[in-house]
Structure 1
Amino acid sequence: MNSFARRFAALAGAAALSAGLAAPAHAEQWARTDARGDVTSSTNCDAEGSSCTDTIDAAAKQPDVLRVVTTHTTDRVKVYARYAEMTSGGVRVHQFRVYTNEGVRRRLTVILDDGRVVYNQLDRDSGSKVACAGLRRSIDYGANTVALSIPRACLSNPRWVRVGFGSMIIRDVNDATRGYKSDDALRSGLSASTSDLVLGPRLSRG
């Protein structure tokens, strides 16, 4: 259950049915420009939303990530993403993956249903929840941006981190076989439904 696709599809179904670019004075930052037109369309999936038929949908503007910036400050780990286009309709998922020097693995997942946040949780790779006060998010549909951040205290105050980020649009939360569209911000080209989010380089504490 560690794949980008299976975690997103399962969480989105359950949930729907029931900061800026500038770095602080003390921070290490890394930025990447993602390829335009590299949204993966996953169809004909299994019942868990995995093992799909994956193809590139070059015409899709959503959820096409164009730019991602990751920042490690003295108190938070942050990600900022800019998209080709963003609207609030449907079920959309954003996931922020973090790996630390101590081997801690965490994922902050935010799920929105027609623009309303229905899930905002830090989890372990196993899927168990991690209590964390101070999770932050900012979603700007006018600017086509998403910003998420996690307090370092919730990550065991790491010396360095590696960060991944991706977004997904679920076609039908009642039928996982219909699949989704997704974009891994650190992977240009096809993001297979069995793949996990790519991690960026090490970022030391600011």
Structure 2
Amino acid sequence: MSRLATRLVAVLAPVALLLPAGAHAAKVVTEDAVGDAVTLIDESTDLDEPTPAPDHAGTDVVRTAVAHGAKRLRVRVAFRALERDPFQFIVIRVRTPHGNYELVVERLGGKPITSIDLGRRTVDCDGLGAKVDLRADTVTASLPTSCLDAPRWVQIGVGAVSVSGQQGNPELGAAYADDAHRDGAIRDNIATGPKVRRG
């Protein structure tokens, strides 16, 4: 190595240590069984024995990707085939050391509507939003981690529910549901995935 190169390395090495590190987020991807959506035809349907609806692709979650960074939390939910004319709700349960939050994305046509609650209290969260990608069949929700009290870790659960009307009898619609961390089962509480520590 030349004397000039040696001097440059000696000068630049301390400077490099002072540069801000690139944004980093811990990421965890979980897969869900394909074709495990169920139908809840009416209020009398037993949650312990729901009716399988393997052909209903619009509610069938197949993958969840969680990116937990220092500043933002992103949850990307992939479906088998998102409905183009939806009446759909995606409920994202966010478990943290500080409490359990419920983030809801409503797809009722047009831009998705998002909200987040902590128990019975609605949380004001500037920067909360969701994006739908019909080509990729994904819904991505994103929010500042400050809205969650900047937790060290999160556990994410995803439940999707949609309602479809019958042709000729729209009032006789059926509800479809999928829990992203259960295989063909629906419970009162959404199951959560592994802990995702802050990156």
How does the TM-score come out when normalised to structure 1?
0.75
Kindly tell me: are residues 189 and 203 of structure 1, through their superposed partners in 2, closer, same or farther at Cα, counting changes over 3 Å?
same
Could you list the per-position Cα deviations for residues 52-92 of structure 1 after superposition, in whole angstroms to 9, with x for gaps in the alignment? 97211112212111111111101112111111101231311
Runs of 4+ in 1 over 4 A off after TM superposition: 49-53, 175-179
1:156 to 124, 149, 157: 149
Is the contact made by 2:90 and 2:106 (CA closer than 8 Å) also made in structure 1? yes
Question: Which residue does 2:39 correspond to in 1?
Answer: 41
Kindly tell me: are residues 143 and 150 of structure 1, through their superposed partners in 2, closer, same or farther at Cα, counting changes over 3 Å?
same
Q: Determine helix, strand or coil for the equivalent of 1:121.
A: strand
Greater RCO (Cα-Cα under 8 Å, separation 6 or more): 1
Q: Is residue 121 of structure 2 the alignment partner of residue 123 of structure 1?
A: no
Kindly tell me: are residues 51 and 36 of structure 1, through their superposed partners in 2, closer, same or farther at Cα, counting changes over 3 Å?
closer
Question: Which residue does 2:106 correspond to in 1?
Answer: 111
Q: Determine helix, strand or coil for the equivalent of 1:58.
A: coil
Unaligned runs of 5+ in 2: 1-21
Question: Which residue does 1:182 correspond to in 2?
Answer: 177
Between the aligned residues of both structures, percent identity stands at 28
Is the contact made by 1:55 and 1:190 (CA closer than 8 Å) also made in structure 2? no
Q: Is residue 138 of structure 2 the alignment partner of residue 137 of structure 1?
A: no
C-alpha distance in 2 between matches for 1:52 and 1:90: 26
Unaligned runs of 5+ in 1: 1-23
- Once superposed, what is the RMSD of the aligned Cα atoms? 2.5
Q: Is residue 195 of structure 2 the alignment partner of residue 202 of structure 1?
A: yes
1:81 to 65, 77, 82: 77
Bigger radius of gyration: 2
C-alpha distance in 2 between matches for 1:50 and 1:136: 34
2:52 to 52, 56, 68: 56
C-alpha distance in 1 between matches for 2:49 and 2:192: 24
C-alpha distance in 2 between matches for 1:143 and 1:178: 27
Is the contact made by 1:79 and 1:148 (CA closer than 8 Å) also made in structure 2? yes
C-alpha distance in 2 between matches for 1:115 and 1:56: 29
Q: Determine helix, strand or coil for the equivalent of 2:178.
A: strand
Kindly tell me: are residues 191 and 52 of structure 1, through their superposed partners in 2, closer, same or farther at Cα, counting changes over 3 Å?
closer
Q: Is residue 60 of structure 2 the alignment partner of residue 67 of structure 1?
A: no
Between the two proteins, the alignment pairs up a number of residues equal to 174
How does the TM-score come out when normalised to structure 2?
0.78
C-alpha distance in 1 between matches for 2:43 and 2:161: 15
Is the contact made by 1:45 and 1:177 (CA closer than 8 Å) also made in structure 2? no
Kindly tell me: are residues 50 and 130 of structure 1, through their superposed partners in 2, closer, same or farther at Cα, counting changes over 3 Å?
farther
